[in-house]
Amino acid sequence: MPKNKIPFNQPTMVGGELRYITQAVKSGWIGGDGFFTRKCNEWLEKNLKAQKVLLTNSCTAALEIAAMLCDLKPGDEVILPSFTFVSTANAFALRGAKLIFVDIRPDTLNIDESLIPAAVTKRTKVIVPVHYAGVACAMKEIKNIAAKHKLFVIEDAAQGVLSAYQRKALGTLGDFGAYSFHETKNYTCGEGGAMAVNNPKYIKRAEIIIEKGTNRKEFYRGNVDKYTWVDLGSSYLPSDIVAAFLFGQLEKARAITAKRLAIWRRYHVGLLPLMKEGRVKLPTIPKDCRHNGHMFYLLAESARDCRQLSQYLKSKGVASVFHYVPLHQSPMAQKLGINRVKLPVTESAAERLLRLPLYYELKAADQDRVVDLIHEYFNRQ
């Protein structure tokens, strides 16, 4: 057995997380919408230059709120990639919407904007660009399509906090944006998320939905003497203990990003010779995108190579993982009758993609070992 195991991900504390949790508990309020929840909202609004940000208990919750704000009805259509996490689809399927899967680009693995117009029908209501690995979709083209057909744009920026497209933060370019602070993300609180509301006319209703469908925020502001049930909603707020931990991470977000980008670049430099030899393909970063070093992956030439490389790394104590099983190939897609679609780029990428360890405290020596082992594997072929 290898002596020194290298995990795929390793949560860490970088600042005042524990101190802020203690402060939250001593304040006498650890429920939703507390002091640290508001601090996180303010930090995100300032640093993302967002109209309004609301902390949620997950990115899934943020997507569900966005779907409600779009007033989706059964039979309405939502265009999205199949190469994404299940939450992207669930949020809209729960409203009875029909999911229209579109293939991805072979370079960024983001939704192929050139295929979206052909997917638009009279029933289309929403386009959902998913910014894979924190690298922006072609938002200019997507927004133009949406404007032409009067469609909502909901950005799934789960992996894209502090990434940008043409100098604008991901999640702030569409009508709504959804972020994740899951333990695998750059800035984390274990489970958590946020949504950006980029059209002021939807802010009030978003605040109601997030408060279980009540006008409790109006009550706290002193605008009503009692709060009551005024709309549909659910329990989407995080505990202030969770927000306290997250605020400690956000305060160090720039340092975390810089470290992750350095790790990302070290992988890229170390594996570039293999790409030049045609053994692997490495991530592509378009010139109008600024990414956040969320993920480093490689695409092997074949599914067999991908599986065997992963097994080889595992035998040496290195954890590497595949990513999504395409949603259109899932059992649930079959139940919904939306599996009869061919997405060749998605299907090929899903079989050949391998994610490498990337976390804040990953040591250079361990990273070099990962790179050396990948070279070693291919040199044996």
Q: What is the mean pLDDT of each run of 10 residues along the chain (381 residues)?
A: 82 95 96 96 98 98 98 96 98 97 98 98 98 98 98 98 98 98 97 97 97 93 93 96 98 98 98 97 97 98 97 97 95 92 97 98 97 96 75
What is the C-alpha end-to-end distance of the chain, expressed in Å?
23
pTM for this prediction: 0.96
Instruction: State the pLDDT at residue 220.
Output: 87
Q: Dig out the tokens for 17 from the structure.
A: 């997380």
Instruction: State the pLDDT at residue 175.
Output: 98
Instruction: State the pLDDT at residue 245.
Output: 98
**Hey, what domains does the chain have and what are their CATH numbers?**
17-250 (3.40.640.10), 253-379 (3.90.1150.10)
